[in-house]
Structure 1
Protein backbone atom coordinates (compact mmCIF):
# COMPACT_ATOMS: atom_id res chain seq x y z
CA UNK A 1 0.00 0.00 0.00
CA UNK A 2 1.32 3.44 -0.90
CA UNK A 3 1.88 6.03 1.79
CA UNK A 4 0.98 9.64 1.01
CA UNK A 5 2.52 12.50 2.93
CA UNK A 6 0.97 15.96 2.95
CA UNK A 7 3.22 18.94 3.59
CA UNK A 8 1.36 22.02 4.79
CA UNK A 9 4.33 24.35 5.38
CA UNK A 10 3.43 26.72 2.55
CA UNK A 11 -0.30 26.94 3.26
CA UNK A 12 -0.13 30.60 4.28
CA UNK A 13 1.85 31.70 1.26
CA UNK A 14 -1.19 31.20 -0.96
CA UNK A 15 -3.47 33.21 1.30
CA UNK A 16 -3.97 36.70 -0.04
CA UNK A 17 -5.05 39.17 2.58
CA UNK A 18 -4.27 42.62 3.88
CA UNK A 19 -3.54 43.12 7.56
CA UNK A 20 -3.69 46.60 9.09
CA UNK A 21 -2.60 47.34 12.67
CA UNK A 22 -4.68 49.93 14.53
CA UNK A 23 -3.56 51.82 17.65
CA UNK A 24 -6.46 53.37 19.57
CA UNK A 25 -7.76 53.37 23.12
CA UNK A 26 -11.52 53.04 22.53
CA UNK A 27 -13.75 50.03 23.07
CA UNK A 28 -14.14 47.46 20.32
CA UNK A 29 -17.80 48.20 19.57
CA UNK A 30 -17.09 51.94 19.21
CA UNK A 31 -14.22 51.24 16.81
CA UNK A 32 -16.44 48.92 14.76
CA UNK A 33 -19.07 51.67 14.56
CA UNK A 34 -16.48 54.23 13.39
CA UNK A 35 -15.03 51.81 10.82
CA UNK A 36 -18.53 51.20 9.48
CA UNK A 37 -19.05 54.93 9.17
CA UNK A 38 -15.71 55.89 7.59
CA UNK A 39 -15.10 52.81 5.41
CA UNK A 40 -18.73 52.31 4.35
CA UNK A 41 -18.85 48.71 5.57
CA UNK A 42 -21.13 46.88 8.02
CA UNK A 43 -19.06 45.14 10.66
CA UNK A 44 -21.08 43.16 13.20
CA UNK A 45 -19.93 41.21 16.23
CA UNK A 46 -19.65 37.47 15.80
CA UNK A 47 -21.70 35.38 18.26
CA UNK A 48 -18.54 33.79 19.64
CA UNK A 49 -15.32 35.58 20.45
CA UNK A 50 -12.00 34.24 19.25
CA UNK A 51 -11.02 31.75 21.94
CA UNK A 52 -7.48 30.62 22.80
CA UNK A 53 -5.96 28.69 25.71
CA UNK A 54 -9.17 26.72 26.38
CA UNK A 55 -11.29 29.70 27.33
CA UNK A 56 -8.65 31.62 29.26
CA UNK A 57 -8.20 34.33 26.65
CA UNK A 58 -10.96 35.69 24.43
CA UNK A 59 -10.63 38.33 21.73
CA UNK A 60 -13.55 40.33 20.34
CA UNK A 61 -14.23 39.54 16.67
CA UNK A 62 -16.29 41.54 14.18
CA UNK A 63 -16.99 40.50 10.58
CA UNK A 64 -18.44 41.89 7.38
CA UNK A 65 -18.86 39.87 4.18
CA UNK A 66 -19.12 41.94 1.02
CA UNK A 67 -21.12 39.68 -1.30
CA UNK A 68 -20.65 41.87 -4.39
CA UNK A 69 -16.86 42.09 -4.22
CA UNK A 70 -16.38 38.74 -2.44
CA UNK A 71 -14.30 40.33 0.30
CA UNK A 72 -14.42 39.49 4.01
CA UNK A 73 -13.45 42.16 6.54
CA UNK A 74 -12.52 41.18 10.11
CA UNK A 75 -11.79 43.43 13.07
CA UNK A 76 -10.15 41.57 15.95
CA UNK A 77 -8.87 42.78 19.28
CA UNK A 78 -5.19 42.11 19.94
CA UNK A 79 -5.29 42.61 23.72
CA UNK A 80 -7.01 40.44 26.33
CA UNK A 81 -6.75 41.41 30.00
CA UNK A 82 -7.54 38.80 32.64
CA UNK A 83 -7.90 39.56 36.35
CA UNK A 84 -6.66 36.77 38.60
CA UNK A 85 -6.08 36.27 42.29
CA UNK A 86 -2.49 36.01 43.43
CA UNK A 87 -1.13 34.91 46.79
CA UNK A 88 2.02 36.37 48.20
CA UNK A 89 4.99 34.08 47.57
CA UNK A 90 6.55 34.66 50.98
CA UNK A 91 5.07 33.52 54.24
CA UNK A 92 4.23 36.52 56.33
CA UNK A 93 2.00 37.48 59.15
CA UNK A 94 -0.66 38.53 56.65
CA UNK A 95 -1.24 36.17 53.74
CA UNK A 96 -2.96 38.72 51.60
CA UNK A 97 -4.47 37.97 48.26
CA UNK A 98 -4.45 40.70 45.69
CA UNK A 99 -5.74 41.04 42.17
CA UNK A 100 -3.28 40.79 39.32
CA UNK A 101 -4.15 41.82 35.78
CA UNK A 102 -2.39 39.74 33.15
CA UNK A 103 -2.26 40.94 29.56
CA UNK A 104 -2.26 38.50 26.64
CA UNK A 105 -1.79 39.35 22.96
CA UNK A 106 -3.28 37.60 19.95
CA UNK A 107 -0.17 38.51 17.93
CA UNK A 108 2.67 38.77 20.47
CA UNK A 109 5.06 40.34 17.95
CA UNK A 110 2.81 43.41 17.93
CA UNK A 111 2.10 43.78 21.64
CA UNK A 112 1.37 47.53 21.47
CA UNK A 113 -1.29 47.18 18.74
CA UNK A 114 -4.87 47.37 20.03
CA UNK A 115 -6.75 45.97 16.99
CA UNK A 116 -6.11 44.31 13.65
CA UNK A 117 -8.20 44.83 10.54
CA UNK A 118 -7.86 41.79 8.31
CA UNK A 119 -9.21 42.06 4.78
CA UNK A 120 -9.35 38.78 2.84
CA UNK A 121 -8.30 40.32 -0.43
CA UNK A 122 -4.94 41.60 -1.53
CA UNK A 123 -5.30 45.16 -2.76
CA UNK A 124 -2.92 47.17 -4.86
CA UNK A 125 -0.85 49.79 -3.03
CA UNK A 126 -3.17 52.68 -3.94
CA UNK A 127 -6.28 51.01 -2.54
CA UNK A 128 -4.42 49.94 0.58
CA UNK A 129 -3.12 53.47 1.15
CA UNK A 130 -6.64 54.84 0.64
CA UNK A 131 -8.01 52.50 3.33
CA UNK A 132 -5.24 53.50 5.75
CA UNK A 133 -5.83 57.20 5.00
CA UNK A 134 -9.55 56.73 5.71
CA UNK A 135 -8.65 55.05 8.99
CA UNK A 136 -6.37 57.93 9.95
CA UNK A 137 -9.23 60.38 9.39
CA UNK A 138 -10.94 58.86 12.44
CA UNK A 139 -9.94 61.14 15.36
CA UNK A 140 -9.84 58.29 17.90
CA UNK A 141 -7.24 56.30 15.90
CA UNK A 142 -3.70 57.33 16.78
CA UNK A 143 -1.88 55.15 14.24
CA UNK A 144 -2.70 52.68 11.46
CA UNK A 145 -0.26 50.86 9.21
CA UNK A 146 0.13 47.77 7.05
CA UNK A 147 1.60 44.58 8.55
CA UNK A 148 3.55 42.12 6.40
CA UNK A 149 1.89 38.73 6.97
CA UNK A 150 4.95 36.82 5.80
CA UNK A 151 6.99 38.11 8.77
CA UNK A 152 4.49 37.02 11.45
CA UNK A 153 5.40 34.04 13.60
CA UNK A 154 1.86 33.54 14.93
CA UNK A 155 -0.15 34.00 11.74
CA UNK A 156 -2.21 30.90 12.52
CA UNK A 157 -4.03 33.03 15.12
CA UNK A 158 -5.51 35.02 12.24
CA UNK A 159 -7.55 32.11 10.90
CA UNK A 160 -11.07 32.88 12.08
CA UNK A 161 -13.15 30.06 10.55
Structure 2
Protein backbone atom coordinates (compact mmCIF):
# COMPACT_ATOMS: atom_id res chain seq x y z
CA UNK A 1 0.00 0.00 0.00
CA UNK A 2 1.30 3.44 -0.94
CA UNK A 3 1.17 6.43 1.33
CA UNK A 4 1.07 9.98 0.10
CA UNK A 5 3.59 12.08 1.98
CA UNK A 6 3.63 15.83 1.86
CA UNK A 7 6.75 17.91 1.58
CA UNK A 8 7.41 20.03 4.63
CA UNK A 9 9.86 22.88 4.20
CA UNK A 10 11.51 24.26 7.25
CA UNK A 11 10.68 27.85 8.09
CA UNK A 12 14.28 29.00 7.72
CA UNK A 13 13.41 31.19 4.78
CA UNK A 14 11.50 34.43 4.32
CA UNK A 15 9.29 35.09 1.34
CA UNK A 16 8.48 38.56 0.03
CA UNK A 17 5.72 39.24 -2.47
CA UNK A 18 6.20 42.15 -4.88
CA UNK A 19 3.62 44.00 -6.99
CA UNK A 20 5.12 45.77 -10.01
CA UNK A 21 4.75 45.98 -13.77
CA UNK A 22 8.52 45.89 -14.33
CA UNK A 23 10.26 43.22 -16.37
CA UNK A 24 12.29 40.76 -14.30
CA UNK A 25 15.70 42.10 -15.36
CA UNK A 26 14.68 45.70 -14.57
CA UNK A 27 13.43 44.69 -11.13
CA UNK A 28 16.68 42.82 -10.45
CA UNK A 29 18.66 45.88 -11.55
CA UNK A 30 16.73 48.24 -9.25
CA UNK A 31 17.04 45.90 -6.28
CA UNK A 32 20.77 45.52 -6.95
CA UNK A 33 21.13 49.30 -7.12
CA UNK A 34 19.21 50.03 -3.90
CA UNK A 35 20.80 47.25 -1.83
CA UNK A 36 24.30 47.20 -3.36
CA UNK A 37 23.95 43.49 -4.07
CA UNK A 38 24.30 41.51 -7.26
CA UNK A 39 21.28 39.45 -8.32
CA UNK A 40 22.37 37.53 -11.42
CA UNK A 41 20.25 35.65 -13.91
CA UNK A 42 20.45 31.95 -13.13
CA UNK A 43 21.71 29.64 -15.85
CA UNK A 44 18.26 28.04 -15.91
CA UNK A 45 14.64 29.16 -15.60
CA UNK A 46 12.04 27.46 -13.49
CA UNK A 47 10.22 25.45 -16.16
CA UNK A 48 6.68 24.23 -15.56
CA UNK A 49 4.26 22.23 -17.71
CA UNK A 50 0.62 23.32 -17.97
CA UNK A 51 -1.62 20.99 -20.01
CA UNK A 52 -0.28 21.52 -23.55
CA UNK A 53 2.00 24.48 -22.79
CA UNK A 54 5.27 25.23 -21.09
CA UNK A 55 6.03 28.20 -18.86
CA UNK A 56 9.53 29.50 -18.15
CA UNK A 57 9.71 31.64 -15.01
CA UNK A 58 12.89 33.77 -14.92
CA UNK A 59 15.08 33.14 -11.88
CA UNK A 60 17.78 35.38 -10.40
CA UNK A 61 20.04 34.42 -7.51
CA UNK A 62 22.49 36.05 -5.14
CA UNK A 63 24.64 34.65 -2.34
CA UNK A 64 25.68 37.01 0.45
CA UNK A 65 28.92 35.75 2.00
CA UNK A 66 28.79 38.19 4.93
CA UNK A 67 25.36 36.99 6.07
CA UNK A 68 25.70 33.45 4.70
CA UNK A 69 22.33 33.54 2.98
CA UNK A 70 21.01 32.74 -0.47
CA UNK A 71 18.47 35.02 -2.11
CA UNK A 72 16.29 34.30 -5.13
CA UNK A 73 14.12 36.55 -7.26
CA UNK A 74 11.47 34.59 -9.16
CA UNK A 75 8.62 35.71 -11.39
CA UNK A 76 5.12 34.51 -10.54
CA UNK A 77 3.73 35.23 -14.02
CA UNK A 78 4.68 34.04 -17.48
CA UNK A 79 2.82 35.16 -20.60
CA UNK A 80 3.18 33.47 -23.95
CA UNK A 81 1.51 33.58 -27.34
CA UNK A 82 0.01 30.18 -28.09
CA UNK A 83 -1.57 29.13 -31.38
CA UNK A 84 -5.33 29.38 -31.52
CA UNK A 85 -6.36 26.14 -33.20
CA UNK A 86 -9.87 27.21 -34.21
CA UNK A 87 -10.20 26.98 -37.97
CA UNK A 88 -12.32 29.29 -40.06
CA UNK A 89 -12.42 26.75 -42.87
CA UNK A 90 -10.15 28.64 -45.26
CA UNK A 91 -7.05 27.03 -46.67
CA UNK A 92 -4.94 30.20 -46.48
CA UNK A 93 -5.84 31.58 -43.05
CA UNK A 94 -3.10 33.30 -41.15
CA UNK A 95 -2.09 31.53 -37.98
CA UNK A 96 -3.87 33.17 -35.08
CA UNK A 97 -2.41 33.30 -31.60
CA UNK A 98 -3.72 34.25 -28.21
CA UNK A 99 -1.80 35.32 -25.14
CA UNK A 100 -2.02 32.99 -22.17
CA UNK A 101 -0.76 33.83 -18.71
CA UNK A 102 0.54 31.12 -16.41
CA UNK A 103 1.22 31.49 -12.68
CA UNK A 104 3.79 29.76 -10.52
CA UNK A 105 1.38 30.08 -7.58
CA UNK A 106 -2.12 30.37 -9.02
CA UNK A 107 -3.58 31.12 -5.58
CA UNK A 108 -1.44 34.30 -5.51
CA UNK A 109 -2.17 35.72 -8.97
CA UNK A 110 -2.01 39.27 -7.65
CA UNK A 111 1.72 38.91 -6.86
CA UNK A 112 4.15 39.56 -9.72
CA UNK A 113 7.45 38.46 -8.14
CA UNK A 114 8.78 36.69 -5.08
CA UNK A 115 12.05 37.14 -3.25
CA UNK A 116 13.04 34.09 -1.25
CA UNK A 117 15.69 34.64 1.42
CA UNK A 118 17.16 31.47 2.90
CA UNK A 119 17.97 32.75 6.35
CA UNK A 120 19.10 29.87 8.56
CA UNK A 121 20.63 32.20 11.15
CA UNK A 122 17.46 34.32 11.35
CA UNK A 123 19.34 37.61 10.92
CA UNK A 124 17.21 38.93 8.06
CA UNK A 125 15.84 42.37 9.00
CA UNK A 126 12.54 42.12 7.18
CA UNK A 127 11.26 45.58 8.14
CA UNK A 128 14.34 47.36 6.79
CA UNK A 129 14.30 45.31 3.58
CA UNK A 130 10.59 45.90 3.01
CA UNK A 131 10.94 49.62 3.67
CA UNK A 132 13.73 49.87 1.10
CA UNK A 133 11.91 47.80 -1.53
CA UNK A 134 8.73 49.85 -1.05
CA UNK A 135 10.75 53.05 -1.57
CA UNK A 136 11.71 51.99 -5.11
CA UNK A 137 9.60 54.12 -7.43
CA UNK A 138 8.22 51.50 -9.81
CA UNK A 139 7.29 49.00 -7.10
CA UNK A 140 3.69 49.30 -6.01
CA UNK A 141 3.89 47.15 -2.90
CA UNK A 142 6.09 44.58 -1.15
CA UNK A 143 5.28 42.53 1.94
CA UNK A 144 6.15 39.34 3.79
CA UNK A 145 4.18 36.22 2.96
CA UNK A 146 3.35 33.58 5.53
CA UNK A 147 5.18 30.40 4.49
CA UNK A 148 2.24 28.26 5.57
CA UNK A 149 -0.02 29.92 2.98
CA UNK A 150 2.00 28.42 0.11
CA UNK A 151 0.17 25.48 -1.46
CA UNK A 152 3.12 24.11 -3.46
CA UNK A 153 6.28 24.83 -1.44
CA UNK A 154 8.31 22.46 -3.62
CA UNK A 155 8.25 25.15 -6.33
CA UNK A 156 10.57 27.18 -4.09
CA UNK A 157 13.39 24.63 -4.03
CA UNK A 158 16.05 25.97 -6.38
CA UNK A 159 19.13 23.90 -5.49
Output the TM-score relative to the length of structure 1.
0.84
- Structure 1: runs of 5 or more not aligned: 1-5
Whether the 8 Å contact between 2:19 and 2:142 is mirrored in structure 1 is yes
Residue 151 of structure 1 deviates from its aligned partner by: 1.4
- What number of residue pairs does the alignment pair up? 153
Q: Following superposition of structure 1 onto structure 2, how do residues 22-37 of structure 1 map, counting pairs within 5 Å?
A: 22-37=18-33
Q: Is the 8 A contact 2:62 2:71 kept in 1?
A: yes
Q: Which residue of 1 aligns with 2:149?
A: 151
Which residue does the alignment assign to 1:3? none
Tell me the TM-score normalized by structure 2.
0.85
Of 115-124 and 55-64, more deviation after overlay is shown by 115-124
What is aligned with 1:50? 46
CA contact (8 A) 2:7 2:154 kept: no
Deviation of the 1:124 alpha carbon: 6.6
Counterpart CA distance in 2 for 1:124 and 1:148 is 17
What whole-Å deviation, never above 9, does each CA across 1:28-49 have from its counterpart, x for those lacking one? Answer: 1111011011122111001111
Question: Which residue is 1:138 aligned to?
Answer: 136
- Between 139-148 and 114-123, the greater mean CA deviation after superposition: 114-123
Show the 5 A alignment for 1:112-131.
112-121=110-119, 123=122, 127-131=125-129
Separation in 1, partners of 2:37, 2:119: 15
Which segments of structure 1 move beyond 6 Å, counting only runs of 4 or more? none
**What is the RMSD computed on CA atoms of the aligned residues?**
2.5
Q: CA deviation at 1:74?
A: 0.4
